[in-house]
């Protein structure tokens, strides 16, 4: 069995929006627009399983537990960074 050892880049945030990868941010933005996992997957040409993985990672990094919270964070971010 192989174990992956992920390390953070120096100076990269560990939590919060800036800690998300670009793919996690894209998934989060599409979910915040109201798309379900299947719709996000179709738009990004990835599997719904991969979408779910990115959402779990984003939720962990943002310390949230729901799509509603994710939407709130995405809306607040957009309001502060148009």
Tell me what pLDDT residue 3 has.
60
Residue 22 burial (10 A CB sphere; 0-12, 13-18, 19+): exposed
DSSP 29: H
- Per-block mean pLDDT, blocks of 10 residues, the chain (82 long): 58 83 96 97 98 97 95 88 68
Q: Report the residue count for the chain.
A: 82
What is the three-class DSSP state of 34? coil
pLDDT for the residue numbered 78: 81
């Amino acid at each position: 069995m192989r174990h992956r050892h992920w390390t953070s880049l120096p100076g990269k945030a560990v939590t919060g929006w800036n800690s998300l990868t670009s793919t996690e941010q894209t998934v989060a933005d599409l979910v915040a627009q109201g798309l379900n996992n299947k719709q996000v997957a179709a738009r990004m040409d990835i599997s719904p399983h991969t979408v779910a993985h990115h959402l779990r990672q984003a939720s962990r990094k943002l310390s949230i537990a729901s799509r509603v919270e994710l939407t709130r964070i995405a809306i607040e971010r957009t309001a502060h960074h148009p």
